[in-house]
A and B are shown apart, each in its own frame.
Chain A
Amino acid sequence: MEQIIQVKDLSFEYRNREDQPDLLALDGVNLEIAQGSFVAVLGHNGSGKSTLAKHINAILLPTQGQVRVAGMDTREEDKLFDIREKAGMVFQNPDNQIVATVVEEDVAFAPENLGLPSQEIRRRVDAALRAVGMENFKRSAPHMLSGGQKQRVAIAGVLAMEPQVLVLDEPTAMLDPGGRAEVMNTIRRLNREKGITVLLITHHMDEAAQADRVVVMEDGHVVGDGPPRKIFAQVDKMHRTGLGVPQTVEVLEELNRKGCSLPIDALTVEECAQRLMAFLED
């Protein structure tokens, strides 16, 4: 499979900040992300996960090492616009990302700036709004929408550039449970149905559990990388990093600590119930 994102020996230091010491936020990170995959990056604030995300579309440039997006080195200035077209970014707070007073005008912002003909802009805006299930709100005012709806509009704004990679930095952190579910369903659908590569930065374990692959970051390093089933089965390690594991894993681990021997890789409510049922019937 083609590696759409290649991160090689990446280090990044925040320097020359007012009143604050220099900070090595990323320290020798290596990471390859296959086209079409859904990767969650899990870690605490300060673990370097957002700094990593900002390297994918060249908001930040490596202090050392290299980041390639679809083969393009992010340090090549003349490739900047191509890179940002390939890799779109969605941030935590939808209110900071929405600029227009009408939903469809907001979504049109990026394709307008790409200088596309108006029929093409129309096509892209409609397609992007359909992709996030907001086509019925195209003439609405963004401030009248719920948090989850606003975040979906922000995602549509990025989709209108037709990127291959969607980088989302804690897109659900400010949303309520309903809004979180809306946004996660949208992200999963875009990955499965449109084949968009997704890099989801999060500290919600249940969100990470929905990805194909989970990368765990701590103190600027990658400390875990694998399928969620494998990552969350490392209960002690996850507790040590202060991230914890889903309750479906925790309960099986707790039973094992009391002398049972159950397989602990249950990521969903159904899997966990089945494991417990099998244990009771045994």
Chain B
Amino acid sequence: MEEILRAQGLTYVYSPGTPFEKTAVDNVNLSVNKGEFLALIGHTGSGKSTLIQHFNALLKPTRGQVFLHGRDIWESKEVTRKARFQVGLVFQYPEHQLFEETIEADVSFGPRNMGLEPEEVRRRVVESLAACGMGEDMLQKSPFDLSGGQKRRVALAGVLAMEPEVLVLDEPAAGLDPRGRDDIFRFITEYHEKHGTTVIFVTHSMEDAARLASRIVVMRDSHVFMDGTPPEIFSRAGELLEAGLDVPQITRVFLKLREMGAPVREGVYTVEQAAQEILRCKKEGISC
């Protein structure tokens, strides 16, 4: 597998030398492969938002390095600038950053800044809006007349229009209702499948991470606490709970069953797996 992004010995200290000094990210090593769909989980204050702001050079490491395609993104001004287009960052509540009078103008902002030709900008705007479920009839509307879920999709389209190789999203579903959540994740997943874009998303929801990600990185107290596939992560559900992190409800049911002496296996994190596992135990007639 080809590595696309790597953090090496990455450390970031806020307000160094003041009474508010805080090490938000502490010696983090993380290698992300091309095409991965990675969930980054952790408490508020665990360092996950600080970490991802390094990926497109918004923050400069206090110590350590960030590599994109094997090159240090702070190597030269030119490389730094390129990294900002290659890695697209969608902030939390990105709809707060909509500012233009029309949806077209707003989504064009990124690609225009890349110095692209007007036709190319237009193509990207139309395509990225379509990827977010919005037709050309929306182009001339004001982004401020849209519903919350629609606004967020416009903001996402604004980043997709730069056609980043790595898409980084900070809690893309925060504050949305179940339908809005499903929509936004569907668009992200479809885009990932169609373009092979590497996706890194920050979430508080273990259920979303379990359902969507091919790999989960758990952060705790500025460090990487766990890193693995969903089955690997959820087989350590007890540790996650001890660390005060959430696990899917169904995983907790299975922890409880094991506590009660049932011979069910560890690492169950979806309802389908759970039903299958219960039927397997039943069929094999394993007595409890």
Contacts and interface: CB of A to CB of B under 8 A. Distances in A.
Interface of A: 19-20, 44-46, 92, 146-147, 173-174, 176-179, 203, 206, 242-244, 246-248, 250-251, 254-255, 258, 260, 269-270, 272-273, 276-277, 279-281
Contacts of A247: 207, 248-250, 253, 271, 274
Looking at A147, A246, A277, the one whose CB has the most chain B CB atoms below 10 A away is: A277
B278 A281 contact: no
A205 to B, nearest CB: 8
Contact of A246 (B182, B249, B256, B278): B249
Question: Among the interface residues A147, A174, A179, which one has the most CB atoms of the partner chain B within 10 A?
Answer: A174
B282 interface: yes
B44 A242 contact: no
Nearest to A147: B44
Interface of B: 43-44, 142, 145, 147-149, 174-180, 182, 204, 207, 244-246, 248-250, 252-253, 256-257, 260, 262, 271-272, 274-275, 278-279, 281-282, 286-288
A280 B278 contact: yes
A240 to B, nearest CB: 12
B44 A269 contact: no
Of A146, A260, A269, A279, most buried by chain B (CB within 10 Å of CB) is A269
Contacts of B278: 251, 255, 276, 279-280
A260 B256 CA distance: 21
Which 7 A-B residue pairs are closest in the complex by CB-CB distance? A273-B256, A254-B275, A247-B249, A247-B250, A203-B177, A45-B177, A176-B44
Contacts of B262: 276-277, 280
B282 A279 contact: yes
B148 A276 contact: no
Contacts of A273: 253, 256-257, 260
A156 to B, nearest CB: 21
Given A45-B147, A45-B148, A250-B271, A178 B175 contact: no
23 contacts: A44-B177, A45-B177, A46-B147, A173-B175, A177-B204, A178-B244, A242-B179, A244-B178, A247-B250, A247-B253, A247-B271, A247-B274, A248-B249, A251-B275, A254-B272, A258-B275, A269-B249, A273-B256, A273-B260, A276-B257, A277-B257, A277-B262, A280-B288
A45 to B, nearest CB: 5
Nearest to B272: A254
B279 A255 contact: yes
A255 B275 contact: yes
A280 B281 contact: yes
A96 to B, nearest CB: 13
Given A251-B275, A254-B271, A280-B281, A203 B178 contact: yes
Given A179-B44, A254-B275, 5 more contacts: A178-B244, A248-B249, A258-B279, A277-B257, A277-B262
A251 B288 contact: no
Contacts of A179: 44
